[in-house]
């Protein structure tokens, strides 16, 4: 089915990225509809982060093309950047500043008009349940509060599309639920399209309207959690993952990837 372009938030056309002889993402054709939460799943090294880096214009593709919020990642990276937010696994808020000060810094970067800044920051803090922590140093925040602040930083300019790389990695169950709640509210309140990566099958089922399971740089399966369960002939999302991505998640074991995931978990834990 062909969707009208206004209903499409992200579209890729044979998007490919290689690192030397290693093809991390191979001729990816992906469509994310406006106003949905889309989950990219897959074992370590499947190409999820590389996909996000290309879509956020941080990494040029080796070949292929993509549009994000109607703008080409190849010819209009500024147009893309103005319309997106990105919460990576790596970048953290500055622990030596308060939540408010962190947001003020981003408000300047995003060119939020000076007279609107304080109001926008306070609204965003309230939205993320951080009003009471407004003037506290971020180094005193819990892992869940840091993650919510990072989401607040990424949505300060009210992006059309938000990219989240493993948003709840390293969080305890209560903090994870809080993040899910805020992300759903973000979609309901602002209509923000969300593309996230996760290894957490419960997260994918609970949060995502549609899911793509990547394996070795290609999409092995795509659909809603219910559709994927039906196709795999199981009620368990873990079994769905194994069915489409394979039993072993060490197809491309990589010190860099494991080390990065551990550092993120440690940072938030």
Ligand X SMILES: Nc1ncnc2c1ncn2[C@@H]1O[C@H](COP(=O)(O)OP(=O)(O)OP(=O)(O)O)[C@@H](O)[C@H]1O
**Residue (40 or 152) nearer to ligand X, CB:** 40
**Residue (62 or 77) nearer to ligand X, CB:** 62
Give yes or no for a contact between 26 and 217, defined as CB atoms under 8 angstroms apart: yes
Rounded to whole angstroms, the Cα distance separating 154 from 157 reads 8
CA dihedral 59, 57, 65, 186 (to 10 degrees): 130
- As measured in angstroms, the least distance from the Cβ of 137 to ligand X is 30
Non-local CB neighbours of 218 within 8 Å, separated by 6+ positions: 26, 27, 28
Q: Token match 């922590």: residue?
A: 133
**Residue (205 or 216) nearer to ligand X, CB:** 216
Write out the residues near ligand X by the rule CB under 6 A.
Answer: 19, 22, 24, 42, 44-50, 252, 254, 257, 261
**Residue (41 or 112) nearer to ligand X, CB:** 41
**Residue (58 or 126) nearer to ligand X, CB:** 58
- As measured in angstroms, the least distance from the Cβ of 10 to ligand X is 16
Closest CA to 149 of 110, 175, 184: 175
Helix axes of 99-109 and 143-155: crossing angle, nearest 10 degrees: 20
- As measured in angstroms, the least distance from the Cβ of 248 to ligand X is 14
Closest CA to 181 of 170, 193, 168, 200: 168
**Residue (49 or 57) nearer to ligand X, CB:** 49
- As measured in angstroms, the least distance from the Cβ of 168 to ligand X is 14
Residues in the chain: 269
The alpha carbons of the chain give a radius of gyration, in whole angstroms, of 18
- As measured in angstroms, the least distance from the Cβ of 151 to ligand X is 19
Rounded to whole angstroms, the Cα distance separating 269 from 266 reads 5
- As measured in angstroms, the least distance from the Cβ of 49 to ligand X is 3
- As measured in angstroms, the least distance from the Cβ of 185 to ligand X is 26
Rounded to whole angstroms, the Cα distance separating 32 from 107 reads 28
**Residue (76 or 257) nearer to ligand X, CB:** 257
């Amino acid at each position: 089915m062909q969707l009208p372009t206004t209903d499409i938030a992200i579209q890729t056309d044979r998007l490919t990225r290689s690192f030397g002889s290693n093809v991390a993402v191979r001729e990816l054709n992906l469509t994310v509809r406006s106003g949905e939460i889309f989950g990219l799943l897959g074992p370590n090294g499947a190409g999820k982060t590389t996909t996000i880096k290309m879509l956020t214009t941080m990494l040029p593709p080796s070949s292929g093309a993509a549009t994000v919020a109607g703008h080409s990642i190849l010819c209009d990276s500024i147009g893309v950047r103005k319309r997106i937010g990105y919460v990576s696994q790596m970048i953290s808020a500055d622990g030596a500043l308060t939540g408010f000060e962190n947001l003020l810094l981003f408000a300047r970067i995003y060119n939020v008009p000076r007279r609107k800044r304080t109001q926008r920051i306070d609204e965003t803090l309230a939205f993320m349940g951080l009003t009471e922590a407004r003037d506290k140093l971020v180094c005193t925040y819990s892992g869940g509060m840091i993650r919510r602040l990072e989401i607040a930083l990424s949505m300060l300019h009210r992006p059309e599309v938000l990219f989240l790389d493993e948003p709840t990695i390293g969080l305890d169950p209560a903090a994870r639920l809080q993040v899910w709640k805020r992300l759903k509210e973000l979609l309901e309140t602002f209509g923000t399209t969300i593309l996230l990566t996760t290894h957490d099958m419960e997260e994918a089922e609970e949060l995502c309207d549609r899911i793509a399971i990547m394996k070795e740089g290609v999409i092995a399966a795509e659909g809603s959690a219910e559709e994927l369960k039906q196709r795999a002939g199981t009620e368990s999302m873990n079994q769905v993952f194994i069915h489409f991505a394979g039993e072993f998640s060490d197809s491309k074991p990589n010190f860099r990837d494991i080390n990065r995931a551990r550092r993120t978990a440690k940072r938030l834990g």
